[in-house]
Structure 1
Amino acid sequence: MKYGIIGRNGRMGNEIYNLFSEKGHDLVFSYDKEGENFLETPEVLIDFSLPTAFEKVIEYVEKFRCPLIIGTTGLSNEQITKLKELSQTLPIIQSYNFSLGIQVLLRLVKLADKLLDDVDIEITETHHRFKKDKPSGTAKMIKEVLNKEVNISSLRLGNVPGDHTVYFGNLGEIITISHRALSRRTFAAGVLKSAEFALKAVAGFYTFQDIFELTKEE
């Protein structure tokens, strides 16, 4: 696979590069604050940068006419709308978390909410000190699954890749559903799975939850 990364020198960009290199894939394009490095047109473009680079991302997607995998957090509603417009002609995979474990957590949270009555629900999330957005995109995903107003508590500490916990409590017991990322490699593995999917996918707007469910059916 020939791929490109926007945000190559960031934490996730490095993790993606290391894993993709191990698997024999070729980085043929990169763009960062240091500038552009172009060798060939990529078959798939990966973006883990910042919302401020979004216009540049769109510019490259339209130039290369290739699928986009975007894990940048803190995107605005207008930016998501633009991605959906692009997805009419190209595969676009957008998600705030590319962990397989988080997909399982989302299913468990949805099931617990369905089975439990008269419970208080709280979400907590912890990430490294450099993370810009608060609460995390993953915490927002969990809240969307619950489809109700739920408080989210956010911590920014050290170099934590990502911890998320959902609490269900009544007067007699508390149930917790948690996920802890031990390294960013788990997210890079999800990006690789998404890239392999994107190369064969028809145009459309996908999330990593869609990838998880569709590949499970194969």
Structure 2
Amino acid sequence: MTDASDLRLGVTGATGRMGREVLEAVDDREGCDAVFAVNRSPEADEIGGVPIEPASEFDALVAEREPHAVVDFTGPDAALAYAEACAAAGVAFVTGTTGIDGGDRERLREASESIPVLHASNFSRGVAVLDRLVAAATRSLPEFDIELVETHHRGKRDAPSGTANALLRTVESAREEAAEGGADSDPPGRVHGREGEAPRQPGEIGVHAVRAGAIAGEHELLLAGDHEELRIAHRAGDRGVFAAGALEAADWLAGRDPGWYDFAEVIDG
């Protein structure tokens, strides 16, 4: 962790929805400075007083401006390239880019052998707590049916959202734990939406993605038994909450030993 008055950041995907939010959050945060911001296709001269520079200059900018950490919200290919450049330069890397899985995740983990890396599908403190509640509820109610509904703005590309996928992994892991403990729990299986004749099968986890308007993000998990139901939900009123969480993560991560870190560790201090 850096001194609170001396956090130097690089920002990627600067003209995207989250890149803009991050730069505005930096501008509002005392003791935080964006020493550079890049975008593959610059659509603005500056944001929050920070000049937007070509992504092709990223490697040189990391070396010249010496940030403590880079905050990334781009796409999987770009995020991996930035992570590897940060690994070569010895700069901590924080990314909220979704869609990173399989071999891509392994490449990101390889970068964490040289630098501290923190990848999170969501930088909201509330969502971090939601994940813990989902795990506890799923373990305690193994016989209940589960449905997950997530809602985002019309421009969101991936479905289900990265946060939804993280919550689904939590549900699946908790069900496996319950089964190992002797509970009567069927193997989990995801069903994305339903159409026509589609009666619910044992062990299903229903998944529904809604895209509309300018909704920042909503996630609701329904656990339903025969005579009762439990709903656990989180709603983000503004994307600024995710940008603030990413800056908090960058401040916490900067200066730590190389390794793979989780946003829950930031929440726990």
Q: For this structure pair, what is the TM-score category when the shorter chain's length is used for normalisation?
A: over 0.9
SS at match of 1:60: helix
CA contact (8 A) 2:87 2:114 kept: no
Question: Highest Rg: 1 or 2?
Answer: 2
CA contact (8 A) 1:12 1:188 kept: yes
Q: CA–CA distance in 2 between the matches of 1:76 and 1:169?
A: 30
Structure 1 gaps of 5+ residues are none
Q: State the match for 1:165 in structure 2.
A: 220
Deviates more, 1:126-135 or 1:26-35: 26-35
Could you say what the CA RMSD is over the residues aligned between the two structures, in angstroms? 1.6
Q: CA–CA distance in 1 between the matches of 2:89 and 2:263?
A: 22
CA contact (8 A) 1:12 1:48 kept: yes
Q: CA–CA distance in 2 between the matches of 1:181 and 1:132?
A: 18
Match among 114, 132, 145 for residue 89 of structure 1: 114
Q: 1:52 deviation in Å?
A: 3.3
Deviates more, 1:158-167 or 1:198-207: 198-207
Match among 28, 37, 44 for residue 35 of structure 2: 28
Q: 1:63 deviation in Å?
A: 4.4
Deviates more, 1:148-157 or 1:93-102: 148-157
Q: State the match for 2:183 in structure 1.
A: none
The 3 A distance-change label for structure 1 pair 139 and 202 is same
Could you state the TM-score of these two structures normalised by the residue count of structure 2? 0.75
Give the aligned residue type for 2:113: Q
CA contact (8 A) 1:42 1:64 kept: no
Q: 1:117 deviation in Å?
A: 4.1
- Deviations along 1:72-120, whole A, 9 cap, x unmatched? 1111311110111111121000010000000111111111112224210
Structure 2 gaps of 5+ residues are 1-6, 43-53, 173-187, 190-204
The 3 A distance-change label for structure 1 pair 86 and 104 is same
> Is residue 2:211 matched to residue 1:156?
yes
Deviates more, 1:34-43 or 1:140-149: 34-43
**Percent identity of paired positions between Structure 1 and Structure 2:** 32
Q: CA–CA distance in 2 between the matches of 1:96 and 1:89?
A: 22
Deviates more, 1:196-205 or 1:47-56: 47-56
